[in-house]
Amino acid sequence: MRFRLALPSLTVVLLLAGCGGGDEATTTTTVVRTTTATPTSSVPDEAPAVVTLYFLRDGKVAPVQRGIVTGPAIGTATLRELLKGPSTDEGGLATAIPSGAKLESLEIGGGVASVELSSALPSQAALAQVVYTLTQFPSVKRVAVGGRSAGRKAFEAQTPAILIESPVPGETVQSGFEVTGTANTFEATFNYELKDAAGKVIAKNFVTATSGSGTRGTFRFTVRYKISEPQAGTLVAYEASAADGSRTHTVEVPLRLE
């Protein structure tokens, strides 16, 4: 079952030395552990929510959504779900986070999420998964783990040239659905196609992100189509080579078309 609920705000307290500078900055943090506040009557102890988890495809971050049962500490529940790793039905995704890693603490405040894990993260790819997953929440701009504080900009090498964050693989959509994400392509442009179950292109256009050519920008566009009956479909995004027009940086998102 897929849940369609708004994500509640993270409500954990962080007592952390302030950190400034760009996303590449490093800092040493001192965390004072606090107890979790008692949930109020407006926030149930357990409630369903849909969250995005970032695993890896070809070494680059790739989002999936899962319905989880959570309470006020949705960040803690989300990170624990990430540590479980990808499932077999999530399209051949991988994880760089060590198997068996456990969350020891997560405290959030001042836009920074401070994380302690039972195992050190062995690579930039593993750290990117944690940073991308936690920064989906508006209250988190940076993540501090292993003595380092970083935001998404620190992981350009672990981010695909075209990152579609919505819709996610397997999602059911209707004509007029919105596509959002980030891109770092030549002159900030790329193309998309929507294919039906037979592989026929039923919608296509080009997209211009807010920036490109070395600087990652955001994009948002709407896809309209006509089909005779519900069926599987595929959203394909790609950059056309300036040299010969060939397709590069291709990403495919399988969908259910209604």
Q: What is the mean pLDDT of residues 141-151?
A: 94
Task: Look over the chain and give the mean of its residue pLDDT values, rounded to a whole number.
Answer: 85
**Which amino acid is located at 161 in the chain?**
A
Output 6 or 207, whichever has higher pLDDT.
207
Share of the chain above pLDDT 90, in %: 75
Instruction: Show which of 136, 158, 180 is a domain's final residue.
Output: 158
Q: Which two tokens stand for residue 174?
A: 């209707």
Are both 154 and 171 inside the same structural domain?
A: no
Query: How many folded domains does the chain comprise?
Result: 2
Res. 242 pLDDT band, cuts 50 70 90? confident
Instruction: Show which of 158, 182, 208 is a domain's final residue.
Output: 158
Given a contact cutoff of 8 angstroms between Cβ atoms, the answer to whether 51 and 66 are in contact is yes
Res. 90 pLDDT band, cuts 50 70 90? confident
Tell me the sheet residues that pair with 217. 183
Residue 60 inside a domain? The answer is yes
Residue 23 inside a domain? The answer is no
Give tens-digit pLDDT for 18-40: 333 344 433 333 333 333 333 33
CA–CA gap between residue 24 and residue 19 (Å, rounded): 12
Given a contact cutoff of 8 angstroms between Cβ atoms, the answer to whether 186 and 177 are in contact is no
Q: Is 219 helix (H, G, I), strand (E, B) or coil?
A: strand
Give tens-digit pLDDT for 180-198: 999 999 999 999 999 999 9
Give tens-digit pLDDT for 217-235: 999 999 999 999 999 999 9
CA–CA gap between residue 61 and residue 258 (Å, rounded): 28
Given a contact cutoff of 8 angstroms between Cβ atoms, the answer to whether 69 and 48 are in contact is yes
Note the pLDDT of residue 24.
40
Instruction: Show which of 107, 133, 158 is a domain's final residue.
Output: 158
Q: Is the pLDDT of residue 7 over 80?
A: no
Note the pLDDT of residue 31.
37
**Which amino acid is located at 148 in the chain?**
R
Residue 86 inside a domain? The answer is yes
Output 109 or 69, whichever has higher pLDDT.
109
Are both 144 and 172 inside the same structural domain?
A: no
Note the pLDDT of residue 8.
38
Q: What is the mean pLDDT of residues 86-93?
A: 87
Are both 208 and 228 inside the same structural domain?
A: yes
CA–CA gap between residue 8 and residue 212 (Å, rounded): 32
Are both 130 and 179 inside the same structural domain?
A: no
Q: Is the pLDDT of residue 145 over 90?
A: yes
CA–CA gap between residue 242 and residue 257 (Å, rounded): 32
CA–CA gap between residue 163 and residue 175 (Å, rounded): 21
Note the pLDDT of residue 45.
60
CA–CA gap between residue 135 and residue 146 (Å, rounded): 17
Q: Domain of 117?
A: 47-158
CA–CA gap between residue 214 and residue 230 (Å, rounded): 39
CA–CA gap between residue 150 and residue 26 (Å, rounded): 7
Residue 18 inside a domain? The answer is no
Separation of CA 203 from chain center = 25
Most confident of 1-5, 42-46, 63-67, 88-92: 63-67
Residue 177 inside a domain? The answer is yes
Given a contact cutoff of 8 angstroms between Cβ atoms, the answer to whether 171 and 90 are in contact is no
List the CATH number of the domain containing 184.
2.60.40.2550
